[in-house]
Structure 1
Amino acid sequence: MPYIEAAVRRQQFIAAARIALLAHGVAKTSLRVVAAEAGVPLATMQYVFPSKEKLLRAVIEDVVDEIAHVLADSAATDQGLANAIRQGLDTYWGQLVRNGRELQLLQYELTMYALRTPGHEDLARVQYERYAAVVADWCRHAAEHAGETAVVSFDHLGRMIVAGVDGLILQYVCDPDDARARKGLEALAEMAKALAGV
């Protein structure tokens, strides 16, 4: 077997884990299942990820990084916070929700698994802290770049946007309705703008 750098191998295992998680769900995805998906011996898998918790944490971080990249590439942050929020929500929804129902279900399943599995509760907290931090940093950058200030903290604004998006996503995965989702996103953008008070 040819040598593969640890960082490359790690990303391969995370990608294999995402495929396995989407196919089998969190509860039925073991390190052995992910190793099989990656086409490596279990021992190789365990060398990089010695526990399922460490692998799930890495998957959560990977999903959050994907969201951060979508937000970073989604809107011109020099046109003000309100415009960035509107464009960011539209792009996020179009790229990761409308055609990504399985990814959204995986995120909720990771949250529920963590909350219901003794000793793993921290994963759910980390997951939502990272979501909120990504959105808060993105909002902060947009406001500062445009020379704007907000009347609430960006941490609070980020958490409220995540809460709103979370609710809209849950409704959408239960009953996909693009027209309703569009109205919901427009309302959320207006509420976030009003909350920020820019």
Structure 2
Amino acid sequence: MPTLTELARRAQLIGVTIDLIARHGHAGTSLARIAEAAGISKAAVLYHFPSKDAVVRAAYDTVIDGLTTRVGAAVATESGAAALAAYLRSITGYLRDNPAHTRMIVEGIGESPAVEDTPNAPSRRDAVAALITAARDAGDYRPDVDPRVTAVIVNGALDAIVAENLSDPSFDTTAATESLITLLGQALR
């Protein structure tokens, strides 16, 4: 069982890794750079994590845990179409509020061999499809709405909002998310 000091050091290394990957990308982040940013030796990093991939995976998991906690809390308080809107608002809100986490997710998915997630993972699609099914079953959407097709479209639009914000930090993700919610309401009701 790790001590409180060891847990604190691991948390520090995860935070440093998120920041470094956000600034320098996966390729530009090394164990030596992580150690230097944390003010410890490379051997001390290796005491807590057996490899760069391990610390990157821990950083990615931390970011995903934070995102899913926020999204889950937002969705849990809503039902029907409002749950899908809460899902979209909470994701873009979290990523807007935590830009380093956005970069960590993108770099983790695109560059890190330790991260096996993909933008089109069935679990991601199925989670959104379940929200759409619930909205359809509640009568918020037409009976002929196909949850899987709609989930693919919703995730594609969400990814486009995030990508646009990464290339232009002044891009208004809140307005874009509200436009997406309005479009979905008009198209699916």
**Quick check: TM above 0.5?**
yes
Cα deviation for residue 158 of structure 1 reads 5.4
1:77/1:141 contact within 8 Å kept: no
1:32-74: CA deviation from partner (whole Å, max 9, x where unpaired)? 2212323333222113222212222222211111110110222
Partner of 2:36: 36
Change (3 A) 1:11 1:85: same
Q: RMSD of the alignment, in Å? A: 3.8
Partner of 1:113: 111
Cα deviation for residue 152 of structure 1 reads 5.0
Change (3 A) 1:158 1:58: farther
Following the alignment from structure 1 to structure 2, what is the Cα–Cα distance between the partners of residues 10 and 136? Answer: 33
SS of the residue 1:79 aligns to = coil
AA aligned opposite 1:87: A
Change (3 A) 1:71 1:47: same
Cα deviation for residue 166 of structure 1 reads 0.9
Partner of 1:67: 67
Following the alignment from structure 1 to structure 2, what is the Cα–Cα distance between the partners of residues 66 and 159? Answer: 23
Cα deviation for residue 24 of structure 1 reads 3.2
1:93 and 2:92 aligned: yes
1:189 and 2:187 aligned: no
AA aligned opposite 2:73: D
Change (3 A) 1:39 1:4: farther
1:161 and 2:149 aligned: no
Following the alignment from structure 1 to structure 2, what is the Cα–Cα distance between the partners of residues 55 and 159? Answer: 31
Partner of 2:171: 177
SS of the residue 2:123 aligns to = helix
1:133 and 2:133 aligned: no
1:74/1:87 contact within 8 Å kept: yes
Cα deviation for residue 129 of structure 1 reads 6.5
AA aligned opposite 2:36: A
2:21/2:107 contact within 8 Å kept: no
Change (3 A) 1:184 1:50: same
Following the alignment from structure 1 to structure 2, what is the Cα–Cα distance between the partners of residues 65 and 158? Answer: 21
**Quick one: percent identity of the two aligned structures?**
21
SS of the residue 1:46 aligns to = helix
AA aligned opposite 1:171: E
Structure 2 unpaired stretches of 5+: none
Partner of 2:46: 46
